[in-house]
Amino acid sequence: MKHLVFGICLGLLCSVSQAQSDSALNGKTIVQQYFVDTIQSSFLKETRIIKVYLPAGYSAATKYPVIYVLDENWMFEPTVNDVVKLSAFKVIPACIVVGINSPNRSNDLRPDLTTGEFTATSKRFNDFLTKEVPAYITQKYTAPVFSILVGHSDGATFAQNAMVNSASAFRGVVCLSQNLFGNELEQYVRYSKEDFTNNHYFFVASGTRDAWSRLRSGQKLDSLFHLHNNPRLKVRHELYDADHSGIAGMGLANGLAFIFSDYYQPNGWNGQLADSLRKINMDPTALIENTMATINKNYGIDAKPARDGILDLAFGIITNKDQAASYLDYCRKNTKIDDQFDASAAQLYERIKEYDIALDYWTRYLNAPHTYKQHFFYFRRPIELLAYKMDKPEKAIDFAATWEKVAPANIKLSFPFFIAKIAAEKNISRKKGKASIDYFIQHYDPEKTQYSLPEAEKIKGQLEGKP
């Protein structure tokens, strides 16, 4: 068996002398590597080529969905492109992509045009695809945990046939411009009534500028999709303003996204969901654990909670310090902690009005050696917390004066401004406030503070008792 590394060129930057004079050329190509292997098939009685793309950071110990792509000679590379893009944007998990070669696609993919059933040759190809290829992938790379089949044209017709005849082989099927023959519609109806133990996904794409028979096939399936009531079978038909080949270009990414529609983690932007969870006093940590358990059980993977996904939603529904402590402990144990962790925790405790704990987290953040402190925000928040929410303005002024001594030079000027602001608004330490605002005005530099001279003059007037 050959095991050769090739590259998929995803983009090429062509250079000419004029272009080189205008900008620096940092690289010539964006390449995704893949393997070209061969399998000696006992069903086909011949050797077949397959292409295998492994995601970045691939590990044999990691669980990956496997996407099988028919017509690898032209569908494999576009599929890899879309998988790389969609996984980079967290629409789908990292996936292995396997391209299946068909030197005689009519023999491999086309059904009996009268009955719609497999022919003798397409049945053997289906056995090869559903038995020998997964066994090879398991032996050499990883055991497929969630298998998807993608086909276009005759490949789409075959994919639907494979789906209804080998229901356990593929949990997701993407059919791009298939044609229905014989009893294939009735075969789908029987399939749609099966009692699946897990979710199955079926995506169909048709084009308004495709052959009438293909468009009509998609419309017939669409009608059935509106009638079926199998909760474990999720179906969608999309109609594109596209011709036969254009359907593949437009429908492929959408089809993959649909297959992984339950991979989505809800986030805090869903205000209605967040409100409903607060009303039932949903435990935020349990929400994270239940969501990830559902996703991972459905797709057989080990997905992690995303900061901009379920962690964000759970953060937003926290209402008391016990929930906050449980949430933060979960994050420490199960997520990568960055230098903003303590600042986020401080803002969380401020929101639920646990001000002493919030101040402790702000202090931790400021005392940590490697946290980001080049913006006055990280000092202003604890100063405001002390002055206004905790109503301890004297301590706020002392806090500001202490941190002014060690703050980065580019933000130092904001500290005397804030000391004077608190002194004026709380009518305390007026002498210190006057000295601070005079210093701010005398040393004013817009590069070292976010506050303006007119704002400073107003505070000075307040401290001097001017109307």
Can you give the three-state secondary structure of the chain, one letter per residue? Answer: CCCEEEEEEEEECCCCHHHHHHCCCCCCEEEEEEEEEEEEECCCCEEEEEEEECCCCCCCCCCCCEEEEECHHHHHHHHHHHHHHHHHCCCCCCCEEEEECCCCHHHHHCCCCCCCCCCHHHHHHHHHHHHHHHHHHHHHCCCCCCEEEEEECHHHHHHHHHHHHCCCCCCEEEEECCCCCCCHHHHHHHHHCCCCCCCEEEEEEEECCCCHHHHHHHHHHHHHHCCCCCCCEEEEEEEECCCHHHHHHHHHHHHHHHHCHHHCCCCCCCHHHHHHHHHCCCCHHHHHHHHHHHHHHHHCCCCCCCCCCHHHHHHHCCCCHHHHHHHHHHHHHHCCCCCCHHHHHHHHHHHCCCHHHHHHHHHHHHHCCCCCCCCCHHHHHHHHHHHHHCCCHHHHHHHHHHHHCCCCHHHCCHHHHHHHHHHHHHCCCHHHHHHHHHHHHHCCCCCCCCCCHHHHHHHHHHHCCCC
293, two tokens: 């358990």
CB-CB contact of 227 with 192 (8 Å): no
- Per residue in 147-159, pLDDT (tens digit) is 999 999 999 999 9
CB-CB contact of 71 with 252 (8 Å): no
Sequence-distant (6+) residues with CB within 8 A of 170 are: 68, 130, 147, 148, 149, 162, 163
In total, the chain counts a number of residues equal to 467
pTM: predicted TM-score of the whole model, two decimal places: 0.85
CB-CB contact of 240 with 251 (8 Å): yes
CB-CB contact of 207 with 215 (8 Å): yes
CATH number listed for the domain at residues 4-263: 3.40.50.1820
Q: Which of 381, 453, 382, 385 is nearest to 417 (CA)?
A: 453
The Cα 294–Cα 315 span in angstroms is 19
The Cα 301–Cα 138 span in angstroms is 15
- Per residue in 364-375, pLDDT (tens digit) is 999 999 999 999
CB-CB contact of 92 with 256 (8 Å): yes
Tokens 């050499």 -> residue: 140
50, two tokens: 């397959």
Q: Which of 412, 329, 322 is nearest to 373 (CA)?
A: 412
Query: What pLDDT score was predicted for residue 234?
Result: 97
HSE on the CB side for 153, CA within 13 Å?
15
Query: CA angle 242-247-249, nearest 5°?
Result: 110
Q: Where are the domains of the chain?
A: 4-263, 367-467
Q: What are the angstrom distances between the C-alpha of 70 and each of 35, 74, 161, 233, 250?
A: 16, 9, 13, 23, 17
Q: For 151, list phi and psi in degrees, rounded to 5.
A: -145, 150
Tens of each residue's pLDDT in the chain, 467 residues: 445 454 554 432 233 333 334 455 555 566 788 999 999 999 999 999 999 999 999 999 999 999 999 999 999 999 999 999 999 999 999 999 999 999 999 999 999 999 999 999 999 999 999 999 999 999 999 998 999 999 999 999 999 999 999 889 999 999 999 999 999 999 999 999 999 999 999 999 999 999 999 999 999 999 999 988 899 999 999 999 999 999 999 999 999 999 999 999 999 999 999 999 999 999 999 999 999 999 999 999 999 999 999 999 999 999 999 999 999 999 999 999 999 999 999 999 999 999 999 999 999 999 999 999 999 999 999 999 999 999 999 999 999 999 999 999 999 999 999 999 999 999 999 999 999 999 999 999 999 999 999 999 999 999 988 65
The Cα 115–Cα 418 span in angstroms is 82
467, two tokens: 């109307």
388 alpha-carbon distance from chain centroid: 39
Which residue type sits at 193?
Answer: K
First-residue to last-residue Cα distance in the chain: 89
- β-pair partners for 202: 173, 235
CB atoms within 10 A of CB 374: 10
The Cα 19–Cα 22 span in angstroms is 5
Sequence-distant (6+) residues with CB within 8 A of 279 are: none
Q: For 54, list phi and psi in degrees, rounded to 5.
A: -110, 135
The Cα 76–Cα 70 span in angstroms is 8
The Cα 145–Cα 160 span in angstroms is 20
